[in-house]
């Protein structure tokens, strides 16, 4: 349990959790970057990047 490990002052869990938060922030940042073309194009691109990134994040974490 993540919450229990953080309460026990497990530094490794805290660092790993911080890394996941930073990775999610970067995924959202990449999805939101770029010039505005149209609502349909930009929202489709944004959700495509975010969905792909959020699916790939735990897969790559499990693989390593």
The tally of domains found in the chain comes to 1
Report the half-sphere exposure of 60 (CA within 13 A, side-chain side): 8
pTM for the model stands at 0.82
Predicted pLDDT at 36: 97
Predicted pLDDT at 64: 83
Reported as a single tens digit per residue, the pLDDT across 9-58 is 999 999 999 999 999 999 999 999 999 999 999 999 999 999 999 999 99
Q: Domain range spanning residue 50?
A: 2-63
CA-to-CA distance for 61 and 56, rounded, in angstroms?
8
Predicted pLDDT at 1: 85
């Amino acid at each position: 349990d993540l919450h229990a490990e953080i309460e026990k002052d497990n530094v490794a869990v805290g660092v790993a959790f911080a890394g996941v938060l930073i990775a999610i922030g970067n995924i959202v940042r990449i999805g939101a970057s770029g010039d505005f073309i149209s609502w349909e194009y930009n929202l489709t691109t944004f959700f495509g990047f975010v969905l792909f990134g959020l699916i790939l994040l735990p897969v790559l974490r499990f693989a390593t």
